[in-house]
Structure 1
């Protein structure tokens, strides 16, 4: 059993009740549907939300069938239910994981890092003709802008090396090679993730999750790495395209009602956007967010559904309850 199986089992057992396969797939891949956003926070699985954004549905389906054959889960018309727990799923309880607040930010960062290392290394080796290790044009433009700021700094290579060493020598990194062996520059061409995992004799998914965990920790401690921090992108990029359009209007001072009219969308759709915005920027006071006193009263209880929250505070609308569920207020 590899870490992808353990991740699936962890998500399934966290929800306690049977959940439909399409809902579980949304949680695993980080699809920000209204239900996925709300329920991931209600069941306190937001930190493990969307850890495999590129997981293909056919792989997901095959893994579920394999787990069912082995007696770990049951799949029926009610959904997927856990039958047998695995202690190894505790790997995903680590505070290192910050899934909802990061999602694919580490993936973008690592593409930037691969390019930055290549550019800085080739400059050091006075190599001006080469193919970018990452083909993505947006990533190339990002690093080009970054390098234009630093290209006249004669100590750039040393600064980058020192920050990378500080990070890679930390206890949060189990396998340095899942990062370092990917780097290209000078006459060196980096290995693929599969090649590295085969050499380390670990499964590709075990290697992937260790790679991701180290990047999550790096993002959490980004203030300690000012040069690497410049290669990280803003949380705004996490918002869905439509959610960002609503966020942009809100930041420009438009009210909830004005945004509904301007965007010509259903009120419920704009509500979904604000739940996503609140979950992404928990310090932001969005329209209809309950006051701190109400939030604290709700946080003192444990709820498995919005219906339970509504029974506890019947005067609040379901929209207000959803905002409360994702608010992140600490007791």
Structure 2
């Protein structure tokens, strides 16, 4: 699975972003550049799906894929698919349920809740009231305690555990065996200690990255099903209940956006916030990527916006340098980034500037 994700990123980036760009995407770096890359290259689903990814681990994976002749690395940092890599992507038929841009934080909390609920309820059923929780986060522990207070009677505990078992069993039957097995062996309950990532790697002869992504993907799949069919999967839905969508805009960018809404200029915001102009511009691009109908008329006219977007589509590129050169320096890089961000949001809202 990790190979599929890497090759898909390489394919969509078209040699226009570095290995660092892929690393920032998968680990969910909340920056204007990474958010823009995720949006304009249609890689939203992979944003933040592998928070624990190690940079060296990613680079080794690229080297192995180059040795297999699935991709080529140029200038040590850019990569392009080969015909073999393209063939692999074409033949990869499995549907993926990653929805990282919107759900990476919710799925992570859903995972913690579910792991801890299984451990807690199975131990309580066995009469084991003292155990070391496998999830240390206090928010998850508090949530499980509240649920336990509602269902602490033996028959309720047994019903919850049996129902959750049946829900997971039913859904895992629809997934490839490798996913189901890795996920199942990872679970910890009364008298059962989940295998470590290293143990799973050796047992199934896969990479650590595959172990991580297969298990992460199961949680995305379970989370998706819980939200789609809450009556069919009541306990999974309980674990997903109340989890808010990830806030894509940083706190600092929110502050800048508040001043923009008041009609302040970039120069005024720079003075007020005592930040670099480039930082304020990053905030504006970041806001334009996530705020519907973000007004950019104070930075670009409608005609200028159309011109930039048409040029990018004609060149079939998102590389600012190429667009800047084609337009003979008429616009700043900030204006180019803002136009591309606006185009992405407008496309999602149903307005296609290419036809303007």
Shorter chain as denominator, the TM-score bin is 0.7 to 0.9
| Residue 26 of structure 1: how far off its partner (Å) | 1.4
Q: 1:78 to 1:140 in 2, by over 3 A?
A: closer
Q: Distance in 1 between matches of 2:220 and 2:31?
A: 23
Instruction: Give the corresponding residue for 2:181.
Output: 177
- SS of equivalent residue, structure 1 residue 73: strand
Instruction: Give the corresponding residue for 2:41.
Output: 43
Instruction: Give the corresponding residue for 2:80.
Output: 81
Instruction: Give the corresponding residue for 1:235.
Output: 245
Instruction: Give the corresponding residue for 2:52.
Output: 54
CA contact (8 A) 2:97 2:217 kept: yes
Q: Distance in 2 between matches of 1:264 and 1:271?
A: 13
Matched, 1:269 2:299: no
Q: 1:43 to 1:141 in 2, by over 3 A?
A: same
Out of 287, 305, 310, the residue aligned to residue 318 of structure 2 is 305
CA contact (8 A) 2:96 2:217 kept: no
1:23-34 mapped onto 2 (5 Å cutoff): 23-34=21-32
Q: Distance in 1 between matches of 2:256 and 2:335?
A: 23
| Residue 131 of structure 1: how far off its partner (Å) | 0.9
Matched, 1:159 2:177: no
Q: Distance in 1 between matches of 2:239 and 2:257?
A: 27
CA contact (8 A) 1:222 1:228 kept: yes
Unaligned stretches of 5+ residues in structure 2: 352-356
Aligned length: 321
Instruction: Give the corresponding residue for 1:63.
Output: 61
Q: Distance in 2 between matches of 1:127 and 1:194?
A: 28
Q: Distance in 2 between matches of 1:141 and 1:161?
A: 22
CA contact (8 A) 2:288 2:338 kept: no
| Bigger proportion of residues as helix | 2
Q: 1:186 to 1:202 in 2, by over 3 A?
A: same
- SS of equivalent residue, structure 1 residue 231: helix
Larger Rg: 2
CA contact (8 A) 1:18 1:78 kept: no
Q: Distance in 2 between matches of 1:25 and 1:287?
A: 31
Unaligned stretches of 5+ residues in structure 1: none
TM-score, length of structure 1 as denominator length: 0.75
Q: Distance in 1 between matches of 2:157 and 2:285?
A: 42
What CA RMSD, in Å, does the superposition of the two structures yield over aligned residues? 4.3
1:167-206 mapped onto 2 (5 Å cutoff): 167-170=168-171, 172-174=174-176, 175-206=179-210
Q: 1:79 to 1:234 in 2, by over 3 A?
A: same
- SS of equivalent residue, structure 1 residue 169: helix
Q: 1:167 to 1:247 in 2, by over 3 A?
A: farther
| Residue 88 of structure 1: how far off its partner (Å) | 2.8
Instruction: Give the corresponding residue for 2:354.
Output: none
**CA shift digits 1:275-316 (9 cap, x unpaired):** 54565x67x5545499xxx99xx79x685327588989x999
- SS of equivalent residue, structure 2 residue 80: strand
TM-score, length of structure 2 as denominator length: 0.70
Q: Distance in 2 between matches of 1:41 and 1:200?
A: 35
